[in-house]
Amino acid sequence: MNGRRSLVYAVLVVALVPLLATGVGEARSRDAPQASVKPAVEKAPGQAILAAPRTARERTLIYVLLAWLWLSIAVLLWLLRLRIREADRVFSMGLDRAPEKPAKDSGH
């Protein structure tokens, strides 16, 4: 049981660390000023402007929100797993079955 738990934690770390590391690297690369080869094109008033986080604080807030979201999903899955294990335990003990009624004697 303890080995299974450590395996789950190891898989969780291996799955989340690269995901978070790529986000931090991307955020740092966006902060660095880049020299543009193309001349700046003026936007026409009718063109749509894409919404994107501008400051580092906004990007950090998005990553924190995503981390909380995935953490809450993991906690809900853990609680669901506990409920399933409890239901399996009750089923194996036979507590979910209705009590058996004694058979009536036909010789009365």
Show the tokens assigned to 108: 């009365």
> How far is residue 108's CA from residue 104's CA, in Å, rounded to a whole number?
9
Quote the pLDDT of residue 32.
Answer: 59
> Which residue from 28, 34, 32, 33 is spatially nearest to 60, judged by alpha carbons?
28
Q: Is residue 74 part of a domain?
A: yes
Which residues neighbour 31 within 8 Å (Cβ) at sequence distance 6 or greater? 56
CA-angle at 90, arms to 86 and 96, nearest 5°: 135
- Please name the amino acid found at residue 3: G
Q: Is residue 67 part of a domain?
A: yes
Which range marks the domain in which residue 69 is found?
54-95
Question: Confidence class of residue 83 from pLDDT cuts 50, 70 and 90?
Answer: very high
Q: Is residue 75 part of a domain?
A: yes
Q: Which of 39-43, 65-69, 85-89, 93-97 has the lowest mean pLDDT?
A: 39-43
Number of domains in the chain: 1
Q: Is residue 47 part of a domain?
A: no
Question: Confidence class of residue 3 from pLDDT cuts 50, 70 and 90?
Answer: confident
pLDDT at 96 over 60: yes
CA-angle at 10, arms to 83 and 13, nearest 5°: 95
Q: Is residue 58 part of a domain?
A: yes
- Please name the amino acid found at residue 22: T
Quote the pLDDT of residue 61.
Answer: 93
> How far is residue 20's CA from residue 71's CA, in Å, rounded to a whole number?
13
Distance of CA 48 to the CA centre of its chain: 32
Q: Is residue 88 part of a domain?
A: yes
Question: Confidence class of residue 51 from pLDDT cuts 50, 70 and 90?
Answer: confident
